[in-house]
A and B are shown apart, each in its own frame.
Chain A
Amino acid sequence: MAEPVSESVGRPRRRWSLSGLSIEYKLPLLIFALILTISAAYTWASYRSVRLSALTAAQERLGSITDQLRGVLETGTKALLDSLHASRSNQAIRRYLSTPSQAAKAEALAAMDSLGPQRIQVVSTELWDARRERVLAVANDSHFVAALNPEYVRWAPGPDSGAVGRLQAIGDSLAYPVSEQVSAGGKVLGWAVQWRRIMTSARGREQTIQLIGSNAGLYIGNELGDVWTDLLHVVPKPPADVRRAQGFLQYDRPGTGTVMARARPIGGTAWVVLIEFPHSTILAPVRLFLRRLGLFMGVILVVGLGLAWIVGRSIAAPLRQLTAATASIAAGDYSRLVSVHRRDELGSLASSFNTMLGRVRDSQHALEEQVRHRTAELEERNEELEGFGYSISHDLRAPLRAMQGFSQALLEDSSDRLDDMGKEYAERIVAGAQRMDQLIQDLLAYSRVSRAELRLVPVPLGPIAQSVVGDLGESLRARGAVMRVDDSLPVVLGHPATLSQVLTNLLGNALKFVPADRTPALRVRAENDNGRIRVWVEDNGIGIAAEHQDRIFRVFERLHSGDDYPGTGIGLAIVRKAVERMGGMVGVESTPGQGSRFWVQLQRVEGEHA
């Protein structure tokens, strides 16, 4: 009993079931799962909201930066146009465009030279007539000029507005045309066109990007979307059509990853400014937040796990102690108190347990004391009873011997002085004394069988029955009885002398109650009865009515007068008492007039078969 208990507490079995797990492990496991779930859910929700706010903030900033840069660029192009502005009022240029002549040409060339700064940005300065044909050109780089495409020119619509044309990629360089209308008296004379190269220094670009921040990408491209530049080189087109997009775009740029982008047209030009914020930069703080949150959750998880383990241990340890104490109580050791000094429920459980233990121990002692007392009392009674039996056997029988002996002496020694009546009286005294002696002997036998110590041993029934039949031989022969004892009677658990007495009484009884005019037919047999042995003693006697079948086993119970069937009324009481002392039962089945079948149920010896 104690073994499996201690095993299940001391060493939890490795099963994939929580029910068999010790609280010491179960509690931390559950708390671990709980914290993990909560922190995962919280982290995910926080991540979503922080990410959303980071993206929204980036969007706002991207919008305003794009608008600001567009304004700056619009102002820049206006300044660019101002340098050509002088051409529309220049007399030499007007003259040459209205009447081109050699003299006017020289003056016009001089005027063109003075137009705008002669810097490396300017590739060529040209004059175009009203039919949009180039009539004069001053080139810095004639080879480069040959590649310029007039289709990229955006013709200024009026005298007060210049126009910036599309970007043209020539090799690794980018050029763009700027035009100004030359008119006189409301009549369009032609256009002054200047081609410029984009020549931004890497440092300038870097500074601009730093001003924008966020590792931004800054691009300028044509409205048509055919040419794009990062202000240093020609770059591939963005993967989305930025011209039509009004709001914010999101796409993957090779080498950068996912970006958030916004494009705005630059007024007065055919250009679009495009700014890209890489997601990696936008979301960097989010990732940092996520990392910190994860670290924090990890710390909580470890601390929670540790606390849960401590709590689980502090619950499991006293429980283990209680279980061990219970097991030792089950094994009969009441001395083991539980030492749990706490002020919580477990502490009060332990102190209740100790109180209960004390009570159980006390009542156990009281009970043992009581049993000892009772046993002593019983032993005393038993001794008294034995003394009583001793007195009976000695003292009560002595007067009987005198009665019988002297009656007989009277009959033998003084018969000549007795008449018939006197002789009959003397005979009746003898018979009475004999009967009383039989009674006393039976009573003593009953008392012996009731209190003698019967040590039960395996007893083979066969030899016992044969010996009893042998002892009864004279009586059996006197009645001419047919006696049948079955072969192979089993071995039972019993006390040999007592078993012998039981069979003697039963057979004597059976023989006695067969009417004088009938040949007694007796039989002893045995059968298996639910793991016990039932021995039957059967006769063909007068039988017993059902209502008397219980009474006959009581002391002094007789159904017939001594004249019909002599007896003391103790024989069957001795049988019942003897069988009960051997752990068995006794009973009878009978049909009046046809016979009785007495049975005795005894314990079987293991391994023996009937």
Chain B
Amino acid sequence: MNPGGQVILIVEDDPNDLLLIQRAFGKARILNPLQSVGNGDDAVAYLAGEGPFADRQRHPFPVLVLLDLKLPRRSGLEVLQWIRAQTGLKRLPVVVLTSSKEATDVNRAYDLGANSYLVKPVGFDSLLELVKSLEVYWLILNQKPDVSAA
């Protein structure tokens, strides 16, 4: 783990999916450290640096958020809405990674300010491809904005 690396925050409630995503990052040899939370409230707390996530040494501020939509307590869309409402966070790149292809979900996510919308593939090979392209685009090619924790 590279503590000085750029952290990616994965908001995912399904441990299987989380494990598969983490494996895909490993397979793709992406060295960025991964942090994960299992529900919407924790995602908000992590980004706000509150409660158990107050220590930024252990829980550094992420450069990219992978956000599932269907989450316990607070849904992914609500989390997205909260992020875009924070002055320090509104430029944080958020990629929605979910299993829903429904047009209503896609449109709503973009309306609320998602930077990208990706559908979880069933096959692992596809997931691997997706994660690789994620790295290429968001972590290498994309020019990062200034983002600071509140």
Contacts and interface: CB of A to CB of B under 8 A. Distances in A.
Chain A binding surface, main DSSP class? helix
A399 B14 CA distance: 9
B124 A394 contact: no
A401 B130 CA distance: 14
B99 A404 contact: no
Interface in B57-106: 69-70, 98-102, 104-105
B125 interface: yes
Contact of B124 (A393, A397, A399, A409): A409
B122 interface: yes
B145 interface: no
Contacts, number: 60
A516 B150 CA distance: 63
A433 interface: yes
A394 B100 CA distance: 6
Interface stretch (B2-10, B16-24, B28-36, B44-52): B16-24
A402 interface: yes
Nearest to B122: A437
Contacts of B122: 397, 400-401, 404, 433-434, 437
A397 B127 CA distance: 14
A70 to B, nearest CB: 133
A401 B23 CA distance: 13
A246 B36 CA distance: 153
A398 interface: yes
Given A433-B122, A437-B122, A406 B16 contact: yes
A582 B127 CA distance: 36
B125 A394 contact: no
B132 interface: no
A444 interface: yes
A405 interface: yes
A486 to B, nearest CB: 32
A39 to B, nearest CB: 88
Contact of B123 (A386, A389, A404, A409): A404
Contacts of B124: 404-405, 408-409
Contact of B20 (A402, A434, A441): A402
A144 interface: no
Interface residues of B, number: 21
Contacts of B104: 386
A404 to B, nearest CB: 5
Given A398-B17, A401-B16, A405-B16, A434 B123 contact: yes
A393 B123 contact: no
A436 to B, nearest CB: 9
Interface residues on A, range: 20 to 34
B100 A405 contact: no
Contacts of A398: 14, 16-17, 99
Given A405-B124, A405-B127, A408-B125, A390 B102 contact: yes
Contacts of A397: 99, 120, 122
A393 B99 CA distance: 6
A397 B20 CA distance: 14
Contacts of A394: 69-70, 98-100
Nearest to A441: B101
Interface string A385-397: 0100110011101
Contacts of A393: 99-102
A401 B100 contact: no
B17 A390 contact: no
Contacts of B125: 408
Contacts of B101: 393, 441, 444
Given A390-B102, A401-B99, 16 more contacts: A393-B101, A394-B69, A394-B99, A394-B100, A397-B99, A397-B120, A397-B122, A402-B14, A402-B16, A402-B20, A405-B127, A408-B124, A408-B125, A409-B23, A430-B123, A433-B122
25 contacts: A386-B102, A393-B99, A393-B101, A394-B70, A394-B99, A397-B122, A401-B20, A401-B99, A401-B121, A402-B16, A402-B17, A402-B20, A404-B122, A404-B124, A405-B23, A405-B127, A406-B16, A408-B124, A408-B125, A409-B20, A409-B23, A409-B124, A437-B122, A441-B101, A444-B101
Query: Which 10 pairs of residues, A with B, have the shortest CB-CB distance?
Result: A402-B16, A405-B20, A437-B122, A408-B124, A405-B124, A394-B70, A397-B99, A393-B100, A394-B99, A398-B14
Interface of B: 14, 16-17, 20, 23, 69-70, 98-102, 104-105, 120-125, 127
